[in-house]
């Protein structure tokens, strides 16, 4: 599902409301029957760790960790031991064509590769939903298109829902459904 | 100049964060400059003390004519302080020569007092016994070394001091009889204070210059890529640090002015001064106003070197370089010298501190301290790398990976505190050295008070003075002054004490039996031929106004004993049990002897206790001079002051640096929190990241600091001393530092997630 809209229209705020990061000013967010507003901080953290994934505009990889360790981070946060977590990360990286870069640091890979690692990190623990905030916003069009395709293919193969926020119509066009945000109101694309 | 102005434009045109950073730098710098001004002014304060003490020294001669003005100096311990009294008997000659602080010489019966002595006389009227006469006025500040001095000019008549008095010629010498701190010690003190304050200050300025390093480096790299030269880029950065340092210097001098006013009113333990003594000198102002900005210029240029030299690497956040190994070379060299000097302590010929050693040993200590700082990043890097690879803990893994890629910045956070522990060890060495040369080597200290100066009640109360562990009476046998001089009269000095009291006053005793008069036999001293079985002696006792005699005839019984050196017990030849003295009597002209431990604090406590019970009694301390004790007190105060200032600067550097790093990492921490990390996990990471290198640094500082201290003590010329006693204190201090750092790092990670931190569009 893609959400588009002009800068400042509130699309990122909506995304973070859906992820339980920001509280909605009105109404409530439900996930798998649970009201997110009624969860404790620890319960929300657990939810984000186990059921959600995130892709940010600039990747936000930890510069001190290797590519492999960055990818395995959600599994490690969920309590998985180091060796199986790194093995699972290696598997996802290989599927995204990054197997050779495992031992490198984020500063040693290109912007496109870095964003692919961010995608791998978001999907490595097979979450129910991935929230993506301008996932290709920092890339050139060729790279953006390739990264997005790999991202959505992998998510579909895992049965993971993706909610992505973008202002690029080309990116939004690849989503199964498309909504627009204007003045804080969400409408299906094409609706008046 | 163009770049300098551009730097200023960027500084004031940048956002709120940059302005906060600028004022933080200025405020931190002002703190450092304030401490620097204090360190620079301390010798001036001590010089002012000594100068006034020298200016009031009477110039006198022993030969005096009938009309000369006589003067007699007396310096007695009052508690742990010296009470100086100058008796003056005016004559026709030189009666117009007036010491500083007085308008005229006192007439007989007149007393001029220092304000402290005036207060003392008001609080304890019994002190009036020391000050015969009536108080006529106060001595002015120009006549006193410091405001807390006990000093009095006492007018008297010529006949009272004719025997000991000297003819007054004038007042003033070029040197003080007892300087506040010996010049040789002052050199070491400057070195210690410099280490304690200036090194943390340098680190602090370096920390300030690197605040917001990542974002600032990106900005500088952009300027460089836009065409600014390498030098120009460095100058742009230096502009900000120079202006901050200049503002900090001005603020710091103002802070010092306020501090000087406050401290001259409150004072420090054992060190007080007048506001004018601590006034800022031209050289101090020049050093602060010129030196600090110049230092900041170089620091600012150096901190922009990477961004200027390789702007692309900065823009693409290239992986940091591995720390250099050269720091390790300095540490090994310094430790080699220090350990070498320590090793001589195990030989029969320990190294001394003269000639070439006077240069080599301080160099070794400096190299060790410098090497310690420069080696920490390397050690931290190697350890972090190894731990990150092997650990199963996510927290440790994250923390160690951070330290691995940023060993230098982690070290900037902890270096101030590590250096402080290193310097504290050296300060302990200076104190021990002072202590060794000032106090007697015996583990006990004897105090002798003339019995005629003590009432029975005072004598009884002195037994209970805290710290006193034994007491006894000393008396000499009577000798006939009209005896035929061709025959030698034997005099016996008797110690009136029980066996238990004797045992507490001597190193070792054997054969003592309570209730019997015994000969005291010291195998290490020559036997007194007059003290033998069958010898008789007469001692005079007094019971109120009645005089009684105590005849003693020695039997063959003897106590073999080993007295401490020096001690009162060492001169006694006979032991008389207290039960031999008839009820209600005591020696007519003996001494009352008290014994305590010779630890400086204990001696000071006992002296204060004696003064509280018998304020005008003259106390003879065996083997101690009170001026030495006063010097130790001043040095302790100054070193403690240095430690406190160093701690303030070190802590400020730690807080500023740790906060800055946390601010710079907010985006990454937010991202990790968004993907599910709990706040406690991130806090634990933050904590481990700081605590681990800090702990390593502190352990190294403890080991190298103790070695440096030992090398200093070995070459000190006194008995070889390995300061194991100081280790627990330093360990506790280091643990405290680690604890505070750990707790202080926790609030750097907040609970609230702000997604805006990771949005840059």
Sheet-wide strand order for A129-133: A52-55, A129-133, A161-165, A2-5, A178-182, A185-188
Which pLDDT band, with edges at 50, 70 and 90, does B743 fall under?
A: confident
Quote the pLDDT of residue B144. Answer: 93
B4 pLDDT more than 80: no
The answer, for A60 touching chain B at a CB cutoff of 8 Å, is yes
Calculate mean pLDDT across residues B14-20. 68
Quote the pLDDT of residue B100. Answer: 93
Cβ distance of B319 and A48 shorter than 8 Å: no
Cβ distance of A62 and B317 shorter than 8 Å: no
Joined tokens for residue B312: 């692309």
Quote the pLDDT of residue B16. Answer: 67
Question: How many angstroms separate the CA atoms of B192 and B197, rounded?
Answer: 9
The answer, for A62 touching chain B at a CB cutoff of 8 Å, is yes
- Residues in chain B, overall count: 761
pLDDT tens digits, one per residue of B228-254: 788 888 888 888 788 888 898 999 999
Nearest chain A residue to B752, by CA: A21
DSSP-H helix ranges across B142-229? 158-161, 183-193, 199-209, 213-225
DSSP string covering B468-479: EEEEEEEEEPP-
B267 pLDDT more than 90: no
With H, G, I as helix, E, B as strand and everything else as coil, classify residue B493: strand
Cβ distance of B675 and A48 shorter than 8 Å: yes
pLDDT tens digits, one per residue of B440-482: 567 788 888 888 778 888 888 998 888 898 999 999 888 776 6
How far is CA A113 from each of CA A104, A137, A153, A171, B670, rounded to the nearest angstrom?
11, 14, 17, 18, 22
Between these two residues, A69 and B346, which has the higher pLDDT value? Answer: A69
Between these two residues, B273 and B210, which has the higher pLDDT value? Answer: B273
Beta carbons of A121 and A73 less than 8 angstroms apart: yes
Beta carbons of B75 and B229 less than 8 angstroms apart: no
The answer, for A45 touching chain B at a CB cutoff of 8 Å, is yes
Enumerate the residues of chain B whose CB falls inside 8 A of the CB of residue A108: 319
With H, G, I as helix, E, B as strand and everything else as coil, classify residue A172: helix
Enumerate the residues of chain A whose CB falls inside 8 A of the CB of residue B319: 63, 105, 107-108
How far is CA B582 from each of CA B231, B406, B550, rounded to the nearest angstrom?
95, 83, 9
Percent of chain B with pLDDT strictly greater than 70: 86
Quote the pLDDT of residue A190. Answer: 63
Give the burial class of B459: count Cβ atoms within 10 A of its Cβ; 0-12 exposed, 13-18 middle, 19 or more buried: middle
What is the least distance, in Å, from the CA of B640 to any CA of chain A?
Answer: 41
Beta carbons of B136 and B111 less than 8 angstroms apart: yes
Quote the pLDDT of residue B761. Answer: 40
Quote the pLDDT of residue A192. Answer: 43
pLDDT tens digits, one per residue of B400-410: 888 888 776 66
Calculate mean pLDDT across residues B336-364. 84
How far is CA B214 from each of CA B16, B221, B301, B652, rounded to the nearest angstrom?
17, 10, 16, 21
pLDDT tens digits, one per residue of B476-502: 888 776 666 666 667 889 999 999 999
Block residue for tokens 């004018």: B276
pLDDT tens digits, one per residue of B107-154: 999 999 999 999 988 887 767 777 888 999 999 999 998 888 999 999
Average pLDDT, whole number, for chain B? 81
B316 pLDDT more than 80: no
Cβ distance of A108 and B671 shorter than 8 Å: no
Question: How many angstroms separate the CA atoms of A9 and A12, rounded?
Answer: 8
Mean pLDDT by 10 residues, chain A (192 residues): 87 87 87 87 84 86 88 89 92 89 88 89 92 84 84 91 89 89 81 48
Cis peptide before A123 (omega within 30 of 0): no
Quote the pLDDT of residue B655. Answer: 72
What is the least distance, in Å, from the CA of A80 to any CA of chain B?
Answer: 10
Which pLDDT band, with edges at 50, 70 and 90, does B80 fall under?
A: low
Point out the residue among B668, B676, B760 whose CB comes nearest to the CB of A48: B676
The answer, for A183 touching chain B at a CB cutoff of 8 Å, is no
B684 pLDDT more than 80: yes
Size of interface A-B (CB pairs under 8 A): 95
Give chain A's largest Cα–Cα span: 53
B718 pLDDT more than 60: no
Calculate mean pLDDT across residues B581-604. 84
DSSP string covering B532-576: STT-EEEEEEEETTEEEEEEEE--S-EEEEEE-SS-GGGG--EEE
Cβ distance of B397 and A82 shorter than 8 Å: yes
Quote the pLDDT of residue B256. Answer: 92
B713 pLDDT more than 90: no
Between these two residues, B225 and B334, which has the higher pLDDT value? Answer: B334
Cβ distance of A64 and B678 shorter than 8 Å: no
Quote the pLDDT of residue B750. Answer: 65
Question: How many angstroms separate the CA atoms of A127 and A162, rounded?
Answer: 10
Question: How many angstroms separate the CA atoms of B122 and B681, rounded?
Answer: 64
Cβ distance of B676 and A77 shorter than 8 Å: yes
Cβ distance of B317 and A63 shorter than 8 Å: yes
Calculate mean pLDDT across residues B658-679. 79
Cβ distance of B751 and A41 shorter than 8 Å: yes
Look up residue B127 and give its DSSP letter.
G
The answer, for B317 touching chain A at a CB cutoff of 8 Å, is yes
Quote the pLDDT of residue B314. Answer: 64
Point out the residue among A46, A49, A108 whose CB comes nearest to the CB of B319: A108
Mutation site, A45, A64, A106, A115, interface B, largest B CB count within 10 A: A64
The answer, for B287 touching chain A at a CB cutoff of 8 Å, is no
Nearest chain A residue to B392, by CA: A82
Which pLDDT band, with edges at 50, 70 and 90, does B593 fall under?
A: very high
Quote the pLDDT of residue B333. Answer: 93
Calculate mean pLDDT across residues B362-374. 86
Residues 397-416 of B with CB under 8 A from A: 397-398, 401-402, 404-406
- Residues in chain A, overall count: 192
Question: How many angstroms separate the CA atoms of A180 and B267, rounded?
Answer: 72
Residues 78-137 of A with CB under 8 A from B: 78, 81-82, 105-108, 121-122, 133-134, 137
């Amino acid at each position: 599902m893609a959400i588009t809209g002009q800068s400042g229209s509130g699309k990122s705020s909506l995304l973070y409301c859906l992820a339980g990061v920001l509280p909605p000013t009105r109404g409530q967010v439900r996930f798998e029957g649970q009201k997110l507003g009624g969860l404790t901080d620890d319960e929300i953290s657990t939810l984000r760790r186990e059921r959600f994934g995130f892709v940010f505009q600039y990747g936000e990889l930890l510069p001190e960790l290797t590519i492999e360790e960055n990818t395995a981070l959600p599994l490690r946060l969920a309590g998985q031991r180091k060796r199986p977590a790194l093995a699972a990360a290696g598997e996802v990286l290989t599927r995204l064509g990054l197997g050779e870069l495992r031992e490198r640091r984020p500063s040693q890979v290109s912007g496109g590769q870095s964003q692919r690692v961010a995608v791998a990190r978001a999907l490595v623990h097979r979450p129910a939903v991935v929230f993506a905030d301008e996932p290709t916003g920092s890339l050139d069009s060729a790279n953006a298109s390739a990264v997005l395709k790999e991202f959505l293919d992998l998510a579909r193969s895992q049965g993971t829902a993706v909610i992505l926020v973008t202002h690029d119509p080309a990116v939004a066009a690849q989503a199964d459904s498309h909504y627009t945000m204007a003045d804080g109101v969400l409408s299906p694309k094409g609706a008046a | 100049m163009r770049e300098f102005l551009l730097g200023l434009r960027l500084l004031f045109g940048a956002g709120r964060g940059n302005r906060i950073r600028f004022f933080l730098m200025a405020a931190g710098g002002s703190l450092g400059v304030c401490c620097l001004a204090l360190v620079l002014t301390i010798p001036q304060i001590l010089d002012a003390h000594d100068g006034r003490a020298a200016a009031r020294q009477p110039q006198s001669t022993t030969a005096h004519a009938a009309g000369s003005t006589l003067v007699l100096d007396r310096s007695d311990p009052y508690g742990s302080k010296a009470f100086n009294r100058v008796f003056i008997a005016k004559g026709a000659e030189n009666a117009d020569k007036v010491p500083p602080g007085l308008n005229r010489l006192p007439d007989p019966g007149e007393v001029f007092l220092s304000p402290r002595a005036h207060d003392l006389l008001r609080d304890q009227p019994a002190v009036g016994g020391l000050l015969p006469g009536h108080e006529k006025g106060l001595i002015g500040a120009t006549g006193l070394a410091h405001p807390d001095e006990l000093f009095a000019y006492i007018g008297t008549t010529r006949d009272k001091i004719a025997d000991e008095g000297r003819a007054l010629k004038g007042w003033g010498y070029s040197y003080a009889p007892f300087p506040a701190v010996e010049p040789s010690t002052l050199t070491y003190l400057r070195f210690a204070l410099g280490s304690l304050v200036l090194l943390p200050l340098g680190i602090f300025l370096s920390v300030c210059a690197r605040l917001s390093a990542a974002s600032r480096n990106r900005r500088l790299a952009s300027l460089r890529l836009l065409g600014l030269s390498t030098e120009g880029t460095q100058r742009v950065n230096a502009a900000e640090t120079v202006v901050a340092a200049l503002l900090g210097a001005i603020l710091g001098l103002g802070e010092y002015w306020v501090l000087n006013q406050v401290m001259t009113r409150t004072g420090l333990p054992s060190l007080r001064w007048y506001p004018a003594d601590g006034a800022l000198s031209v050289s101090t102002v020049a050093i602060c106003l010129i030196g600090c900005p110049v230092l900041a210029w170089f620091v600012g240029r150096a901190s922009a070197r990477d961004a200027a030299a390789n702007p692309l690497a900065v823009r693409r956040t290239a992986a940091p370089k591995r720390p250099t190994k050269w720091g390790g070379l300095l540490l090994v060299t310094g430790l080699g010298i220090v350990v070498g000097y320590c090793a001589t302590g195990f030989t029969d010929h320990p190294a001394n501190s003269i000639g070439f050693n006077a240069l080599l040993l301080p160099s070794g200590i400096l190299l060790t301290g410098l090497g310690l700082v420069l080696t920490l990043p390397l050690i931290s890097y190697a350890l972090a790398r190894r731990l990150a690879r092997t650990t199963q803990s996510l927290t440790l893994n994250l923390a160690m990976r951070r330290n691995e890629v940023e060993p230098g910045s982690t070290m900037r956070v902890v270096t101030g505190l590590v250096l402080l522990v290193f310097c504290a060890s050296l300060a302990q060495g200076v104190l021990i050295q002072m202590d060794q040369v000032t106090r007697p080597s015996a583990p006990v200290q004897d105090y002798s008070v003339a019995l005629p100066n003590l009432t029975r009640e005072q004598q009884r109360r002195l037994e209970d003075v805290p710290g006193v562990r034994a007491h006894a009476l000393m008396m000499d046998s009577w000798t006939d002054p009209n005896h035929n001089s061709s025959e030698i009269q034997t005099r016996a000095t008797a110690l009136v004490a029980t066996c238990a009291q004797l045992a507490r006053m001597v190193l070792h005793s054997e054969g003592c039996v309570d209730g019997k008069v015994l000969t005291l036999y010291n195998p290490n001293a020559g036997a007194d031929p007059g003290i033998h079985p069958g010898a008789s002696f007469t001692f005079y006792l007094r019971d109120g106004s009645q005089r009684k005699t105590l005849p003693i005839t020695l039997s063959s019984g003897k106590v073999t004993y080993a007295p401490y050196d020096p001690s009162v017990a060492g001169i006694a030849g006979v032991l008389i049990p207290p039960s031999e003295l008839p009820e209600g009597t005591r020696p007519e002209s003996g001494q009352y002897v008290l014994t305590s431990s010779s630890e400086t604090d204990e001696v000071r406590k006992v002296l204060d206790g004696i003064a509280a019970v018998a304020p005008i009694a003259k106390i003879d301390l065996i083997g101690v001079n009170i001026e030495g004790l006063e010097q130790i007190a001043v040095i302790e105060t100054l070193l403690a002051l240095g430690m406190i200032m160093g701690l303030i600067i070190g802590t400020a550097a730690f807080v500023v640096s740790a906060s800055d790093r946390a601010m710079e990492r907010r985006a990454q921490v937010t991202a990790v929190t968004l993907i599910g990390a709990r706040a406690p996990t991130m806090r634990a990471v933050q904590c481990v990241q700081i605590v681990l290198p800090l702990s390593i640094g502190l352990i190294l500082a403890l080991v190298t600091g103790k070695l440096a201290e030992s090398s200093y003590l070995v070459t000190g010329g006194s008995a070889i001393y390995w300061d194991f006693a100081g280790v627990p204190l330093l360990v506790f201090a280091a643990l405290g530092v680690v604890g505070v750092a750990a707790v202080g790092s926790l609030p750097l990670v907040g609970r609230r997630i702000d997604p805006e931190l990771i949005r840059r569009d």
